[in-house]
Amino acid sequence: MNTVDGAPAAGTGEGADGAGAGGGRAGRRRSVAILSAAAAATVVAGATVGLGVNSVVAGAATAGPASSSSADIHTALGRSGYGGYGGYGSSSGSTGSTDSSALASATSAQEVGVVDITSELGYDQAESAGTGLVLTSTGEILTNNHVIEDATSIRVTVVATGASYAATVVGTDATDDVAVLQLSNASGLGTAHLDTAGDVALGDAVTGVGNAGGVGGTPSASPGTVTALDATITTQAEQSAASETLNGLIETDADIQAGDSGGPLFNASDEVIGIDTAASQGGETQGYAIPIEDALAIAGRIEAGQASSTITIGYPAFLGVEVAPSAASGASDPYGSSAESSGTVTGAAVSGVIEGGPASAAGLAAGDTITALNGTPIASAQALTQALGTLAPGRRVSLTWTDTAGAAHTAEVTLAQGPAA
């Protein structure tokens, strides 16, 4: 199994429900395990992590990112359904329990500060759709990372006015599923009305609003109540042991749909208390939102340029190779953290090269094995990803590899700007 741009974290496991207070909030802490099917291949573009596809909550219902994607990429990668980084559900149906066409429409007050986001996934020849919130009148946008993950270009439409803008990535936090975008040449935009008090309580009336089904236009509105606080969702990729976890979420029985990701979860006063992030599919309707105060704290670090092990500022460096784990590492790690090889050579085994990318220009081909970067030995695909994660686009590096005939090569390459992390 190969790993793809911002490879989904991988793992398997059972759902678990626990009790206990958390984060100073009233109510119970709920933990839900989500099983996700991993994609077929990952293009190395720095240390990026996605949450996976075709998620299963507690072994029965399915759940995943509430964004919407074209069917083409799912067909190509053997997936089904919607999702910015894979999605969930059926491509001919909705991700919640209700057909998105049957949902109520958002009010004019709820439309203020809401945007539709369309991401072109150029390397996957696909598009994904989601939702976002306007933070500033000059076009700073808050959304989920998975809505724009792997995007090579992003277009944002302001729902209230219909105005459309190109957008660039300010920064992303794949671990906490938050991204900040900046619209080009935007001014005078209406901003979202936020409630950052953090006083959400069990039983509170809420409404999830977003671009259900990725159809654009007037947002859908799904009423519900808060059913749990401090919820934890562990998203795991099929046939693998690694996982990604989102903590401190608001759980609701609002029928969050594919395409709603990054959209607002409103309280009864039409103030944003969270951003819609994931939803269940099956007999029980469960939606999950990141509390707005938590999302804003991460956005603040992104705005300040505070890169970290989880936060990428701007776009990652891009080498343009697909790397695959060895048989020894099995499917337990899509990055191939065990030593990998082509024949007897240890390194990051190249399963594909992106045409026109830096690796292609240097002469790498499928079957080669990358053995060093800037003179530092590379023992696995994971090591290569981590090494690239410390570098910026435009950086010139020395790349060493062994070809299928056993000949060693070294070349200087200039790292390109990769798709969104």
> Binning pLDDT at 50, 70 and 90, where does residue 99 land?
low
For the ranges 33-42, 68-77, 80-89, 99-108, the maximum mean pLDDT occurs at 99-108
H-helix segments, 139-246: 145-148
Would you name the residues annotated as active-site residues?
Answer: 146, 177, 261
> Binning pLDDT at 50, 70 and 90, where does residue 103 land?
confident
Rounded to a whole number of angstroms, the CA Rg of the chain reads 21
Q: Which two tokens stand for residue 132?
A: 């976002």
For 230-266, what is each residue's pLDDT tens digit? 999 875 433 334 456 899 999 999 999 889 999 999 9
C-alpha count within 13 angstroms, C-beta hemisphere, residue 277:
32
> Binning pLDDT at 50, 70 and 90, where does residue 185 land?
very high
Cα distances from 227 to residues 26, 205, 273, in angstroms, run: 12, 10, 14
Q: Tell me the C-alpha distance between 208 and 205, whole Å.
A: 10
Q: Tell me the C-alpha distance between 16 and 234, whole Å.
A: 10
Q: Average pLDDT of the chain? A: 75
Q: Tell me the C-alpha distance between 119 and 264, whole Å.
A: 19
Q: Tell me the C-alpha distance between 379 and 165, whole Å.
A: 43
Query: Over pLDDT 90: what percentage of the chain?
Result: 60
Cα distances from 400 to residues 355, 378, 396, 413, in angstroms, run: 19, 9, 13, 10
The pTM for the full model equals: 0.74
> Binning pLDDT at 50, 70 and 90, where does residue 383 land?
very high
Higher pLDDT, 371 or 48: 371
For the ranges 52-56, 81-85, 388-392, the maximum mean pLDDT occurs at 388-392
pLDDT at 241: 42
Q: Domains in the chain, start-ordered, CATH in brackets?
A: 317-417 (2.30.42.10)
**23-27, 315-319, 348-352: segment of lowest average pLDDT:** 23-27
* Average pLDDT value for residue range 209-213: 94
> Binning pLDDT at 50, 70 and 90, where does residue 66 land?
low
